[in-house]
Amino acid sequence: MTKNWKVLLILAVLGTVLISAHSFAAVDSATAVGVWLFDDGDVSDSSGNGNDGELMNGAAVVNGGKWGMALSLDGDDDYANVANSASLDSTAEAYTGVAWVKLQRKGDPYSGCCADDHMVIAFTTSWNNILNVFGPGRNTNQGKVEVGSQELNPRWLFGPTTVNDDQWHHLAFTYDGAKKILYIDGEVDIDQDTTGAFGVTGVDVHLGGTPTERIALGLMDEIGIFNVSLEQTDIQNIMNDGLGSVLGLTPVTPQDRLTTTWANIKAR
């Protein structure tokens, strides 16, 4: 009976995979202002907006990403810099940032607030961040994810879940002009009623750290910025099928879908 049940489960999974590999709802690629997949071995932008980045201070693109290659950061001084462009200016009252991260714990000693955080996406300074993961300076909040900007009211929000466990986690932040939402691994971690617009223009975007502090320790993959607030189903499709696939940039195969679906089933 147990053997038959396992066979039926596998057949059901295969059937679901073959259908869903071709049926997920696509996200409009025109809403993506920056897409960094790292699969060409660099920080080239796949959105079509030309927002290519530069590896700084020894940052590298390596094998072993969540989907292909990934940005590798040493927690000391590396990051990737994306020069300012009009398409990256964050003046809208709607925004989304997504990324896969695999972050290591930096240590326990109190280091003085913020310098040892793991920055994921930041506009020019650490004070205008979209996604940030707390470091040892945050004491018991180390490893929790912070989202927001000093241009919003309230400015920032952080949730209860820690992600600095050297495992892959999908992070997403959405803001629609009325509420900011943090998603971790496709589920809402926390949300908050909010007003205002990002209002950040004429500045560079930093991935994985800033020029002076908050350098991440670990890997990052499939970073994207959108000028709309994506829905939870969009976030989950990006997580399960890959950012490039959902935007129509790379194909998703049944094997890709099977691997992800089976991993999700075993985790339940």
Instruction: Convert the pLDDT of each residue in 169-181 to its tens digit.
Output: 999 999 999 999 9
pLDDT tens for 212-262 read 888 899 999 999 999 999 999 999 999 999 999 999 987 544 344 444 444
DSSP letter (8 states) at residue 88: G
Whether residue 1 is contained in a domain is answered as no
Structure-block tokens of residue 145 = 């994810």
The pLDDT, as a whole number, for residue 137 is 72
pLDDT at 16 over 50: no
Strand partners, 72: 60, 219
Which amino acid is it at 105? R
| Residues 92 and 44 sit within 8 Å (Cβ to Cβ) | no
Task: Give domain status of residue 57, yes or no.
Answer: yes
The DSSP-derived string for 213-243 is S---EEEEEEEEEESS---HHHHHHHHHH-H
| Structure confidence at residue 257 (pLDDT) | 43
- Say what the pLDDT of residue 126 is: 56
How many domains does the structure of the chain reveal?
Answer: 1
CATH, residue 215: 2.60.120.200
Quick one: pLDDT at residue 115?
73
Report pLDDT for 127: 67
pTM over 0.75: yes
Q: Where does residue 266 rank: exposed (0-12), middle (13-18), buried (19+ CB within 10 A)?
A: exposed
* pLDDT for 125: 61
Q: Which residue would you say has higher pLDDT here, 266 or 118?
A: 118
Has residue 245 been placed in a domain? yes
Whether residue 31 is predicted with pLDDT greater than 60 in this model: the reply is yes
Structural domain of residue 169, as residue ranges?
A: 25-250
In one letter, which amino acid is 47?
A: S
In which element (H, E) is residue 18 found?
Answer: helix 2-20
Identify whether 260 is part of a domain. no
Residues above pLDDT 70, as percent of the chain: 80
- Does 151 score more than 80 pLDDT? yes
- Residue 66 in any domain: the answer is yes
Average pLDDT, the chain: 83
201 in the Ramachandran plot: left (φ > 0), alpha (ψ -120 to 50) or beta? beta
**What are the backbone angles phi and psi of residue 86, rounded to the nearest 5°?**
-60, -35
At residue 22, the pLDDT reads 39
Peptide linkage before 211 cis (omega within 30 of 0): no
Q: Assess if residue 107 is contained within a domain.
A: yes
- Residue 120 domain-assigned (yes or no): yes
